[in-house]
Amino acid sequence: MPTVLQLHRPEEAADVAAALLHACPHRRVFAFQGDLGSGKTTLIKALCAQLGVEEGTSSPSFAIVNDYRSITHEHIYHFDLYRLRLAAELDGIGFVEYIDSGAYCFVEWPELAKHLLPPDTVRVDMSIDPGGDRTISLNP
């Protein structure tokens, strides 16, 4: 059964990130789906902060993957697959090795990689209504 969270203002992203991590305490791979502007990157930044990343985070739109370190030196990987067109391109960045590492992996635009994601991947569906409120559905 999906868990549904609401994000009314960007300032609430930290609380939503904490709730998401609490709802999925043993999961490490999260696939974020939603239209442009639905808040995927904002929520991932908040998740990284909750996990102890102190350095700046940003969308890896051009780099495809960003590697962050928590204060305990754990790796956290943030993927943006929007610019990729072929599944074979995932081999070139070592996608499976990242996913199999046991580290937190946050994947934006996961459609191209869905056949490579583990069965316990948490699907995070995000939508935005005309008033700007975001609905986040977790499908563990």
Q: Which of 52, 59, 34, 35 is nearest to 123 (CA)?
A: 34
Pairing relation of β-strands 29-33 and 122-128? parallel
Domains of the chain: 3-139 (3.40.50.300)
Q: Would you state the pLDDT for residue 62? A: 65
What is the SS3 assignment for 64? Answer: coil
Q: Which residues of the chain have pLDDT under 70?
A: 1, 61-62
Any idea how long the chain is?
Answer: 140
Q: Would you state the pLDDT for residue 1? A: 66
Structure-block tokens of residue 110: 């996961």
Q: Would you state the pLDDT for residue 68? A: 94
30, β-bridge pairs: 106, 122
Q: Would you state the pLDDT for residue 43? A: 93
Structure-block tokens of residue 108: 């934006």
